[in-house]
Amino acid sequence: MKETHVAGIIGLVSVMAVIGFWEFASDHRIVSPALLPPPSSVARALVTLIADGEIWQQLLHTVALFLGSYLIACTLGIAIGIWMGCSEFANGLLEPLVESLRPIPKSALVPALFLFLGIGPLTMVTVVVFAATFPVLINAYQGVRGLDPVLSDTARTFGCSRWRTIRSVVLPATLPAIFTGMKIALSLGIVLAVIAEMLAGQSGLGFIILDTQRAFQTDQMYAWVVVLAAFGAACSLLFDRIEKLAIPWHGR
Amino acid sequence: MAARVSLRNIRKVFDDGSGEPLVAIDGISLDAAQGEFLAIVGPSGCGKSTLLKIIAGLIEPTAGAVEENGRRVSGPPERFVYLFQQYSRSLFAWRTVLANVMFPLEQVKGAKRTDIRETSRRLIAQVGLAGFEDKYPWQLSGGMQQRIAIARALAANPDVLLLDEPFSAVDALTRMELQTLVLELCRQNKFTAILVTHDVEEAVFMADRVAVLTQRPTRIAEIVPIELARPRNQLSTRENPRFLELRHHLMTALLGDMAEAAR
């Protein structure tokens, strides 16, 4: 208990020190305040964003893009991953495809998607879905492959149909692995959503960060980065809560 | 008496393609009569569990056949249930005690939810877990977990129990309680039971007949009838001179086999 206290204090001190140094460097023109405005003006810009409500407008766009794409990706990843894990046919059919698409950084596909889907929401959703599906898919697949043989034997001795075995035994038993994949997909999905907004968006956090930079409103730009960081942290916290509720037996 | 379960010259050879094929089971024929409690003992690694998994339809024999009521079976027979040694891995961690026991009943066509719940509660009470319905398996002790597995097995409406060292992972006192519980359930329901164990005393205590297996390649060394009176009692049965004689006889057979293998 005491040690975590000490660690917490040290952590806080190091953050304060960095912010303090940043303020100092900016005030004394070690770096140009035009490029790196002092934290105090970033904070002022942030307060203004919250006060006039613009933060919600931009946040809403990013949340909608990210959450919609993320849910599609999780559904696809779980369905395809479990199908590949349970069926030799599906595995033979899809494994070469999955393995050849997986290593491609999905952001590299954005220009190609522009050609086919245009510069707009369809491209943005596609790229986020594409990126976030793979970790879920791979983990679901490996979860099924690593299924405890005692569990599958149990289902067989009870004469479970194939569909019931998948729905009532394989899927719940694989949930911990699926959550691991969904956690990776979460951070990957946010990154790709922001990149998509920068490249093809008319609004949203990614768009506004690039937009304020181009307008040289650097204090606002940094304020939006802070908003983005807070959004990521909130997603992560929420995810951990949901995970604990969904798989309480995990780690026992 | 008609044999409920028959093994007809079962052979199992493991051949992974590298080197010599391993003959695990080398021709075993064995009958379990309707309502009989049959125990199978043997040195560790002799393929007892493999044999039981073949009876359960979980593993295909290389040659020979399993018959129930004289008919050859393929795949897990409907009224057989299997109690695993690794009960904690066999239970569904994501389901409560009640939901675990409900599992086999849920796939009965046309069964009503309220009836399923009612039956499950009755079975849970029967194995002595009333009051723990809403707990999760991992919140309970090992002995209690095996009781859940027993209640869940009963829910499948079996008439043949396949017991794969089901009490070997619990402490000595709990083991005795579970042995008595299973014997009582067999008596009430007239189950046929096949128990695989390395514990000779357990085999003598529970069974009507004990089949002794040899080292690999595994055959039947002998079959010993256990004519001890039922219901068996953890104290008086175990102190019965006949119990000790039978135990002595079986231990000698097993130890002799091991000594031979060492030579």
Backbone angles phi, psi at B46, to 5 degrees: -90, 0
Concatenating the DSSP letter of every residue in B55-88 gives HTTSS--SEEEEEETTEE--SS-TTEEEE-S-HH
pLDDT of residue A85: 93
Partners of residue B81 in chain A, C-beta under 8 Å: 157-158
pLDDT of residue B122: 94
Q: Do A154 and B84 touch (CB under 8 A)?
A: yes
Q: Do B84 and A148 touch (CB under 8 A)?
A: no
**The model scores a pTM over 0.90:** no
**What does the mean pLDDT of chain A come to?**
92
Residues 6+ apart with CB under 8 A from A247: A175, A176, A179, B94
Q: For residues A35 and B120, which has the higher predicted lDDT (pLDDT)?
A: B120
pLDDT of residue A221: 95
pLDDT of residue A252: 66
Note the ipTM here.
0.88
Residues 6+ apart with CB under 8 A from B213: B28, B40, B41, B42, B43, B46, B47, B48, B51, B219, B220, B221
pLDDT of residue B73: 84
pLDDT of residue B262: 62
Nearest CA in chain B to A170: B92
Partners of residue A154 in chain B, C-beta under 8 Å: 82, 84, 90
Tell me which residue of B184, B181, B206 sits closest to B196, measured CA to CA. Answer: B206
Concatenating the DSSP letter of every residue in B82-98 gives EE-S-HHHHS-TTS-HH
pLDDT of residue A3: 74
From the list A150, A158, A164, the residue facing B89 with the nearest CB is: A150
Nearest CA in chain B to A161: B107
In angstroms, rounded to a whole number, what is the distance separating the alpha carbons of residues A167 and A152? 12
pLDDT of residue A204: 92
From the list B56, B107, B138, the residue facing A157 with the nearest CB is: B56
Q: Which two tokens stand for residue A125?
A: 């959703």
Yes or no: say if B97 and A252 are a contact pair by the CB < 8 Å rule.
Answer: no
Q: Which two tokens stand for residue B160?
A: 């043949």
Q: Do B84 and A169 touch (CB under 8 A)?
A: no
For chain A, give the percent of residues with pLDDT over 90.
69
- Which band of pLDDT confidence, cut at 50, 70 and 90, is reported for residue A1? low
From the list A154, A158, A249, the residue facing B93 with the nearest CB is: A249
Q: What is the pLDDT of residues A60-119, one digit of tens each?
A: 999 999 999 999 999 999 999 999 999 999 999 999 998 888 888 888 888 888 888 888
A252: distance to nearest CA of chain B, Å? 7
- The burial of B55, by beta-carbon neighbours within 10 Å (0-12 exposed, 13-18 middle, 19 or more buried), is given as buried
Partners of residue A175 in chain B, C-beta under 8 Å: 94
Tell me which residue of A68, A204, A205, A59 sits closest to A127, measured CA to CA. Answer: A68
pLDDT of residue B74: 82
A57 pLDDT above the threshold of 80: yes
Q: Chain B interface, mutation test: which of A158, A163, A170, most B Cβ atoms within 10 Å?
A: A158
User: What residues in chain B have per-residue pLDDT under 70?
Assistant: 1-2, 257-263
Write out residues 139-178 of A within 8 Å (CB-CB) of B.
148, 150-151, 153-154, 156-161, 164, 168-169, 172-173, 175
Which residue pairs, CB below 8 angstroms and at least 24 apart, start in B108-113? none
Partners of residue B138 in chain A, C-beta under 8 Å: 249, 252
Q: Which two tokens stand for residue B65?
A: 């056949």
What's the rounded mean pLDDT across residues A6-15?
90
